[in-house]
Amino acid sequence: MRYKLFGKSGLRVSELCLGTMTIGEDWGWGAPKEESLKIMETFAKAGGNFIDTANKYTNGTSEKYVGEFIARERGRFVLATKYTLSTRDGDPNASGNHRKNLVQSLEGSLKRLGTGYIDLYWVHAWDFLTPVEEVMRALDDMVRAGKILYVGVSDTPAWIVSRANILAELRGWTPFAGIQVQYSLIERTVERELLPMAKTLGMAVTTWGSLGTGVLTGKFNDPKNQNKGEDTRIGQMDAGHLLNERNLAIAREVSAVASEIERSPSQVALNWVRQQKGIIIPIVGARRASQLEDNLRCLDFELSAEHLGRLDAASKIDLGFPHDFLRGERVEGLVYGGTRPLIDDHRA
């Protein structure tokens, strides 16, 4: 395991992040406590120090187990959790990005995790109601109080993140050090705005869903696996909306590359994400320690330029307006006066 600086900060995080939405059985499909401990131990033994949870995951059990498992070596781990999602149905102030929900959610997470501070506190999703100034000032207050060290934002449009960080910079508040987004070979739309924004602003990117909710493992392409095994049945429910011919064709190409280099499809799919430009840190989760062990083996190799090209071709998307418009030969000629091929861009 190697380590990356988290955005513009000096924080060192492992090149893979352990996702803990599968820690605990409250939602009917996660790992029991004993297996959850094995998953955590497997990750730590490999050198992993970056753990991602949320106050909502398995109704709080994820935070309780994670806090218990790392208590003896709390300082070693970069502990990330989130707030925003509803913790009490019917109560409008038990969800959202506003200061009241931030404070009560943070206090609840600190108690469940059994810690005095959170290393990285994520806004879980944007609510489109709370002013961005309120969010950034409230987060900065918690940083100044010593309850959180760094802040990040998940599942939020690029224009909001950019505005938030500009406000933070101008007013001396703590900016977002990273974003969390859905990114995989079958979900590449973040390449339009979010990834270029993160690269330009020097933000880290943690990615969820990098296996395409299991589609990229190839298990849905094999007729022998259909209706067999708990993981496959659960996966079909989770990934049902993704089981279309385009995505299955991408999964077949992933499996073909995996076969050629004698690796698992999961390792190939994770490495395609890992090898994209920028500070990219895939989140890996598992229901069993053996699944995590397989995913961790993606660290043992890199995909060749040929294989990256094949996977890119199989999954590429149209960037749409204005990106495709501005990259057109005619418009590029007008913008640069025919000199673009002569200009070296060290920031590319």
Active site residue 117: no
For the segment 317-342, the average pLDDT, to the nearest whole number, is 95
Residue 242 has a pLDDT of: 84
pTM score above 0.85: yes
Active-site residue among 57, 65, 150, 183?
57
Q: Write down all domains in the chain, each with its CATH number in brackets.
A: 3-317 (3.20.20.100), 324-348 (no CATH)
Q: What is the band of 334 on the pLDDT scale with cuts at 50, 70, 90?
A: very high
Closest by CA position to 135, among listed 170, 113, 165, 107: 165
Task: State the Cα–Cα distance between residues 233 and 263, nearest whole angstrom.
Answer: 24
Distance CA 16, CA 217 (A): 18
Phi-psi region of 34 (alpha: psi -120 to 50; beta: other; left: phi over 0): alpha
User: Lowest-confidence range among 30-34, 100-104, 240-244, 308-312?
Assistant: 240-244
pLDDT digit string (tens) for 225-278?
A: 555 555 554 455 567 688 899 999 999 999 999 999 999 999 999 999 999 999
Tell the burial category of 244 from Cβ atoms under 10 Å away from its Cβ (0-12, 13-18, 19+).
exposed
Beta strand pairing status for 3-5 and 12-14?
antiparallel
pLDDT band at residue 221, thresholds of 50, 70 and 90? confident
Burial code (b: 16+ CB inside 10 Å, e: under 16) for 64-97 equals: bbbbbbbeeeeeebbbbbbbbbebeeeeeeebbb
Residue 203: predicted pLDDT: 98
Q: Cα dihedral angle (220, 20, 23, 231), rounded to 10 degrees? A: 0
pLDDT range class, residue 147, cuts 50, 70, 90: very high
Residue 48 · residue 79 · CB < 8 Å? no
Predicted confidence band at 137 (pLDDT cuts at 50, 70, 90)?
Answer: very high
Confidence of residue 188 (pLDDT cuts 50, 70, 90): very high
Angle CA 36–152–73, to nearest 5: 40
Name residues whose C-beta falls within 8 Å of residue 109's C-beta, 6 or more positions apart in sequence.
55, 63, 81, 83, 118
pLDDT in tens, 104-128: 999 999 999 999 999 999 999 999 9
pLDDT above 90 covers a percentage of the chain that reads 93
Q: What local confidence, expressed as pLDDT, does residue 70 receive?
A: 98
Q: Residue 137, CB half-sphere, CA atoms under 13 Å: how many?
A: 9
pLDDT for residue 342: 96
Residue 155's CB is within 10 A of a number of other CB atoms, namely 17
Question: By percentage, how much of the chain surpasses pLDDT 70?
Answer: 95
Residue 228 has what pLDDT?
54
